[in-house]
């Protein structure tokens, strides 16, 4: 404990004396022997002004980084600033406090500044820019600093502050300086383990709200990790309302105001339908017996024919484009697909709704945080005659009406009913039974080689995944991919041939019949042959490694997998040993392994399930117990003995 107290008091001292000369580099290196660099200060001051009934928001940021050694130089010798249509970021001051061999500091202004287009993986064109600052003369012991200013085009976009970074942060601090007539609300996420010091003061016409934290551990991420927002401490701000000359104006006090803003942005979109759009909508739905069928037809047509290409261009990042143009172009982003679905349905007099939603990358709900930070996606929604809500996300291909995209499971959707009313809808997680993977194979032993026929049936998200590969890969590439998916025994696994049925037929399970062989798998000695039924052990990839720390494991979907292996008993052999049946189960995950013997065959049936999308650190204990138990069963072989 004394150690940690020392650390705390040291920082308190240190942070109030941020002149470079005062840094005891030796002491810092002792305190952080494993680290190469530190963030000395990470601070932001948001200023919210109210003038002429208009909110103005800007934020001044301050960053100071220290290289503890030569390696640490690369952590702090460049920084990026991000600007978009909504937030303009400018540099106020960037400099290096360069430490020379004798421990003296000299200041150099950073002049090497370049601007580049920013990009995100799935976006084709993005008008955002990244400004890169390269610092001169950065040596071990040097400090680089940046002061910058963010201008917000709209107060509704502000603000998120992350307390920690990818290297340890000594001091993290955020202040909101607000005109007294403006209200503030905030939401702390993943801050439970953090000692946050909160103060509120008033000076002149402003209220000052400040959160400070010290000595923040760095975050790290891992395989199968969810988005950082799920586990790193941060704070989200928003403005519910302000008072001007006695009149209260609501800004974002509830989803109602958020929707009223959204509703404004889409006003005027799709006011007319082109002849071509009407014609295609009519021709697609001709002969449909029910409204539901019509919706299905149009939804599937959009899935199949509108390719995903996203343009983040000014307001184009927010507002859906005209359905008529999307029809001609045959491409669009998520909003555009929602736009063309709703408009095509409208031309045949079926009501459907533009719907805002966040993907699973964003762990917030509109009911808690009624701001645009909650969403990054748009879909369409349809209510059938019973009032049941159907989510139509055409960015997912080969999907049925029942199966919305995996990335919106468990999320809250905001369905825009008309210009003034909306509904919040909780998207259920698709239950495991719908995500069936059933792999059933026969196996025969000949001279140490194992061969046989298999039949793999897939539904739900696993089906969509394989169907996607099937339609998007060449025959050669698909065979390679399928070989990896089916891989069993060892890496000699050879897919002789396969036959795929019902791929692309949305309503039916995809079935893959295959012939395989595996060399060098069955081991014999003298009159005994050993055979391990567990030809694949893929669940072991979910084992929690020591380096994982507290990073949750995110699943693509819930799991319901059955594997059946039927071994044909070789002539002249008896079974002299069969392992025990085993199982482990709780409400969230588990498995069972059973052996069944008949006169000519021995069959092993394995069932593995997981009902959750996220295995949280709280679950790790039981999760590991289950996997270890499973692994124990995996290590048991049967023995066949010569008669």
Partner 1 sequence: MNRNNYFAYVLFALLLVFNVKAQDPFYRTYDWDASPKITAPEALDQSEGQIVLKDFRVSEYAYEKSGDLITYVTKHRKVKVFSDKGIENNNKVYIPSSGVIEFMQIKARSISPSGKISNIEKSAIKEVDDVESKGSYKMFAIEGIEKNSEIEYLYTYKKSGGYFGTEYAQSALPKLNFSYKIICPSNLAFDAKLYNSNSEMKKDTLSGNRNSVTISLPKIDPLKEEKYSFYNANLIRIEYKLAYNSVKGKARLLTWDNAADRYYHIICDFDKKDISETNSFLKKLKLSGSDDLAKIRQLENHLKMKFETRTGSSEENENIEKILSTKIANHTGITRLYMCCFAQMGIKAEVVLSCDRTDRAFDPDFDSWDYLAHYLIYLPGSNTFMSPTNIYSRIGFVPPEYTGQKSLFVKEVDLGAGEVKSAIAKLKTISYPEYTASQSNMEANVKFKDDWSETIIALTQTYTGYGAYYTQPIIMFLSDLQKKEFQEKTLKTIGDDASMDKVTMAGIAEEEILTKPFVMGCTLKSPSLLEKAGNKYLFKVGLLIGPQAEMYQEGARKTPAEITFTHSYNRKLVITVPDGFKVLSIEKLKINQNVMVDDKVAAEFVSDYKLTGNTLEINVIENYRALYYPIAKFEDYRKVINAAADFNKIQLVFEKN
Of 23-52, binders to partner 1 (CB under 8 A) are: 34-36
Q: What's the min distance (Å) between Cβ of 526 and partner 1?
A: 8
Q: Which is nearer to partner 1, 16 or 526 (CB)?
A: 526
If one asks whether residue 167 binds partner 1 (CB under 8 A), the answer comes out as yes
If one asks whether residue 125 binds partner 1 (CB under 8 A), the answer comes out as yes
Q: What's the min distance (Å) between Cβ of 204 and partner 1?
A: 43
Q: What's the min distance (Å) between Cβ of 62 and partner 1?
A: 24
Within 244-303, which residues bind partner 1 (CB under 8 A)?
A: none
Contact between residue 78 and residue 132 where contact means Cβ atoms under 8 Å apart: yes
If one asks whether residue 617 binds partner 1 (CB under 8 A), the answer comes out as no
CA dist 8 and 20 (Å) reads 20
Give the one residue of 192, 545, 571, 580 binding partner 1; rule: CB under 8 A: 545
Contact between residue 526 and residue 641 where contact means Cβ atoms under 8 Å apart: no
If one asks whether residue 8 binds partner 1 (CB under 8 A), the answer comes out as no
The answer for residues whose C-beta is within 8 angstroms of residue 431's C-beta and 6 or more apart is 558, 611
Longest dimension (CA), the chain: 99
Q: Which is nearer to partner 1, 53 or 541 (CB)?
A: 541
The CA-based angle 79-186-411, given to 5 degrees, is: 85
Contact between residue 146 and residue 133 where contact means Cβ atoms under 8 Å apart: yes
> Beta strand pairing status for 353-357 and 412-416?
antiparallel
The answer for residues whose C-beta is within 8 angstroms of residue 591's C-beta and 6 or more apart is 539, 583, 584, 585, 606, 607, 608, 609, 626, 630
Q: What's the min distance (Å) between Cβ of 637 and partner 1?
A: 4
Binding track over 352-391 against partner 1, x by CB under 8 A = ----------------------------------------
Map tokens 């400090």 to a residue. Answer: 143
If one asks whether residue 330 binds partner 1 (CB under 8 A), the answer comes out as yes
Q: What's the min distance (Å) between Cβ of 341 and partner 1?
A: 19
> Beta strand pairing status for 553-554 and 638-642?
unpaired
If one asks whether residue 530 binds partner 1 (CB under 8 A), the answer comes out as yes
Give per-residue burial for 18-31: e unless 16+ CB within 10 Å, then b.
eebeebebeebeeb
Map tokens 């107060």 to a residue. Answer: 155
Token pair recorded at residue 120: 């995100």
Within 393-412, which residues bind partner 1 (CB under 8 A)?
A: 397
Residue span binding partner 1 (CB under 8 A) among the ranges 16-24, 85-93, 233-241, 472-480: 472-480
What is the dihedral sign for C-alpha 99, 100, 102, 104? Answer: negative
If one asks whether residue 316 binds partner 1 (CB under 8 A), the answer comes out as no
Give the one residue of 31, 77, 347, 409 binding partner 1; rule: CB under 8 A: 77
Q: Which is nearer to partner 1, 521 or 609 (CB)?
A: 521
Residue span binding partner 1 (CB under 8 A) among the ranges 230-238, 422-430, 594-602, 631-639: 631-639
Q: What's the min distance (Å) between Cβ of 486 and partner 1?
A: 15
If one asks whether residue 137 binds partner 1 (CB under 8 A), the answer comes out as yes
Within 417-436, which residues bind partner 1 (CB under 8 A)?
A: none
Give the one residue of 269, 318, 543, 569 binding partner 1; rule: CB under 8 A: 543
If one asks whether residue 215 binds partner 1 (CB under 8 A), the answer comes out as no
Map tokens 């997680």 to a residue. Answer: 429
Token pair recorded at residue 35: 């680290």
Q: What's the min distance (Å) between Cβ of 454 and partner 1?
A: 19
If one asks whether residue 567 binds partner 1 (CB under 8 A), the answer comes out as no
Contact between residue 72 and residue 140 where contact means Cβ atoms under 8 Å apart: yes
Give the one residue of 17, 53, 54, 632 binding partner 1; rule: CB under 8 A: 632
Question: Measured between alpha carbons, how far is residue 101 from residues 25, 108, 142 in Å?
Answer: 13, 16, 11
The CA-based angle 554-558-564, given to 5 degrees, is: 120
CA dist 308 and 595 (Å) reads 47
Binding track over 486-515 against partner 1, x by CB under 8 A = ----xxx-x---------------------
Token pair recorded at residue 73: 């130089």
Contact between residue 100 and residue 89 where contact means Cβ atoms under 8 Å apart: no
Give the one residue of 43, 48, 138, 401 binding partner 1; rule: CB under 8 A: 138
Q: What's the min distance (Å) between Cβ of 331 and partner 1?
A: 6
Within 173-202, which residues bind partner 1 (CB under 8 A)?
A: none
Give the one residue of 22, 24, 93, 115 binding partner 1; rule: CB under 8 A: 115
């Amino acid at each position: 404990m004394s150690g940690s107290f020392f650390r705390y008091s040291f920082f308190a001292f240190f942070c109030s004396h941020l002149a470079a000369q005062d840094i005891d580099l030796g002491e810092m290196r002792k305190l952080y022997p494993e680290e190469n660099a530190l963030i000395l200060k990470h601070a932001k001051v948001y200023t919210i002004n109210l003038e002429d009934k208009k909110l103005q928001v800007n934020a001044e940021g301050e960053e100071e980084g220290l290289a503890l050694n030569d390696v640490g130089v690369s952590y702090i010798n460049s920084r990026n600033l991000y600007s978009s249509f909504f937030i303009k970021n400018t540099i106020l001051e960037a400099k290096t406090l360069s430490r020379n061999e004798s421990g003296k500091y000299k200041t150099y202004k950073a002049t090497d500044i370049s601007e580049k287009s920013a990009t995100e993986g799935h976006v084709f064109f993005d008008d955002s820019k990244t400004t890169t600052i390269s610092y001169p003369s950065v040596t071990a012991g040097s400090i680089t600093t940046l002061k910058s200013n963010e201008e917000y085009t709209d107060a509704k976009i502000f603000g998120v502050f992350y307390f920690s970074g990818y290297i340890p942060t000594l001091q993290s601090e955020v202040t909101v300086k607000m005109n007294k007539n403006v209200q503030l609300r905030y939401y702390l996420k993943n801050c439970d383990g953090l000692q946050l010091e909160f103060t509120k003061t008033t000076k002149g016409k402003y209220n000052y709200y400040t959160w400070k934290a010290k000595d923040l551990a760095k975050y790290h991420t891992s395989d199968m990790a969810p988005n950082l927002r799920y586990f790193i401490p941060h704070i989200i701000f928003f403005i519910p309302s302000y008072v001007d000359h006695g009149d209260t104006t609501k800004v974002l006090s509830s989803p109602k105001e958020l929707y009223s803003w959204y509703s404004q942005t889409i006003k005027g979109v799709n006011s007319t339908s082109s002849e071509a759009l009407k014609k295609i909508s009519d021709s697609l739905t001709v002969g449909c017996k029910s409204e539901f069928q019509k919706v299905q037809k149009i939804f599937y047509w959009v899935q199949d024919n509108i390719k995903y290409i996203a343009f983040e261009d000014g307001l184009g990042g927010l507002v859906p484009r005209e359905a008529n143009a999307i029809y001609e172009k045959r491409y669009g982003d998520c909003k555009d697909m929602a736009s063309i679905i709703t408009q095509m349905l409208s031309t045949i007099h079926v009501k459907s709704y533009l719907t805002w939603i966040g993907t699973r990358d964003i762990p917030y709900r509109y009911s808690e945080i009624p701001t645009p930070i909650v969403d990054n996606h748009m879909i369409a929604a349809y209510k059938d005659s019973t009032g049941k809500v159907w989510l139509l996300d055409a960015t997912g291909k080969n999907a049925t009406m029942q199966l919305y995209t995996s990335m919106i499971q468990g999320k809250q959707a905001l369905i825009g009913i008309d210009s003034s009313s909306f509904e919040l809808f909780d998207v259920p997680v698709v239950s495991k039974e719908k995500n069936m993977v059933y792999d059933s194979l026969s196996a025969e032993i000949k001279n140490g080689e194992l061969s046989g026929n298999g039949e793999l049936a897939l539904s739900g998200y696993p089906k969509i995944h394989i169907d996607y590969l099937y339609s998007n890969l060449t025959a050669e590439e698909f065979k390679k991919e399928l070989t990896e998916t089916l891989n069993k025994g060892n890496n000699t696994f050879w897919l002789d041939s396969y036959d795929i049925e019902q791929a692309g037929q949305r309503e039916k399970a995809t079935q893959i019949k295959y012939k395989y062989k595996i060399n060098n798998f069955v081991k014999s000695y003298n009159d005994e042959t050993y055979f391990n039924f567990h030809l694949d052990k893929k669940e072991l990839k979910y084992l929690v490694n020591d380096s994982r720390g507290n990073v949750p494991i995110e699943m693509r979907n819930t799991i319901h997998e059955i594997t059946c292996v039927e071994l044909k008993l070789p002539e002249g052999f008896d079974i002299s040993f069969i392992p025990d049946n085993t199982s482990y189960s709780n409400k969230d995950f588990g498995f069972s392994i059973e052996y069944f013997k008949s006169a000519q065959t021995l069959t092993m049936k394995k069932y593995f399930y997981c009902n959750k999308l996220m295995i949280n650190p709280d679950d790790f204990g039981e999760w590991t117990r289950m996997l270890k138990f499973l692994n124990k069963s995996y290590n048991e072989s049967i023995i066949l003995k010569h008669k």
